[in-house]
Amino acid sequence: MREFGLAVAALAVALQCASAQAPVPPPPSSRLKIDFAAPPQDHVVEFSPDKTRASLNPIRFTFRGWVYAPEGLSMTSPDANKFPPEERRLRDALAAAKKQGIIAIVPFWSPAEQAGVKKTVSEPNVNAGMTSFLRSVENSIFLGKVLYGPYSIMLVQHIGESLPASQAPARYTLKKVGDQYYLTDDLSADPVFMYLTEKYVRQLVAQITGQQP
């Protein structure tokens, strides 16, 4: 049961509908403008821990990676095959799951986690819910990539006519195993990862897109 619960939690973090308003990037441009050959940059985001107490100093969060502001990178872009390998891998995983059902995402998870993920997504309710969500997505846009040790944390905005305006950005974690990138739940108990993804992802995306959280 614990293994089942962890796997469900991992997938729910990636594919979730949030109730609070989340910033949505502007429509992506038709041509690619990002120089992927450029090295990752340090990005600083400041957060106020308690907006009702102005005397508190803000939290300064620095990460190394890329932000694809302001338009983001559309997975349907004609230049999508020029994306870095992590972005292409995640695009292929989501495309397979959308076309064949969520069970098709299992081979895109790290080999050590595939058995647990397969058990989770084979549950009828989980399978139906996640497959339905993915098929309601009309486009997905990469907002940024956070480098965290050997991991790449991808921030993705899913867009669809039937999705609520408050649809929160999804967070996917990938790691390299051999010569390939795989989805992973390795960071599910990491305090820094949880701090970023559960508390402040909206503020981070708001700063990336130039909108208010």
- Of the candidates 23, 32, 1, the one whose C-alpha atom is nearest the C-alpha of residue 155 is 23
What ranges make up the beta strands (E) of the chain? 41-47, 59-67, 73-74, 139-148, 151-159, 170-177, 180-183
pLDDT for the residue numbered 85: 94
| Joined tokens for residue 170 | 């999804």
Q: What is the pLDDT of residues 47-62, one digit of tens each?
A: 666 555 666 777 777 8
Continuous segment of H or E residues that includes residue 208: helix 201-209
Q: What is the pLDDT of residues 120-176, one digit of tens each?
A: 999 999 999 999 988 999 989 998 898 999 999 998 888 888 877 666 778 899 999
pLDDT for the residue numbered 106: 96
pLDDT for the residue numbered 114: 96
Say how far apart CA 30 and CA 142 lie, in whole Å: 14
Q: What percentage of the chain reaches a pLDDT higher than 70? A: 69
| Per-residue DSSP letter, 199 | I
Say how far apart CA 53 and CA 88 lie, in whole Å: 43
Helix, strand, or coil here: 37? coil
Is 17's pLDDT higher than 50? no
Q: How many angstroms separate the first and last alpha carbons of the chain?
A: 36
The DSSP result for 56-89, as a single string, is: SPPEEEEEEEEE-TTT-EETT-TTGGGS-HHHHH
Burial letters for 17-44: b for 16+ Cβ neighbours within 10 Å, e otherwise? eeeebbbbbeebeeebebeeeeeeeebe
pLDDT for the residue numbered 57: 76
pTM over 0.85: no
Is 12's pLDDT higher than 50? no
Q: Which of 29-33, 99-103, 111-115, 159-163 has the lowest mean pLDDT?
A: 29-33
Q: At 184, is the pLDDT very low, low, confident or very high (cuts 50, 70, 90)?
A: very high
Q: At 3, is the pLDDT very low, low, confident or very high (cuts 50, 70, 90)?
A: very low
Is 108's pLDDT higher than 80? yes
Is 25's pLDDT higher than 90? no
pLDDT for the residue numbered 194: 76
Which amino acid appears at position 71 of this protein? Answer: E
Q: Which residues are within 8 A (CB) of 12 and not within 5 positions of it... i.e. 6 or more apart?
A: none
Continuous segment of H or E residues that includes residue 90: helix 85-100
Q: Which of 21-35, 39-53, 72-86, 161-175 has the lowest mean pLDDT?
A: 21-35
pLDDT for the residue numbered 202: 64
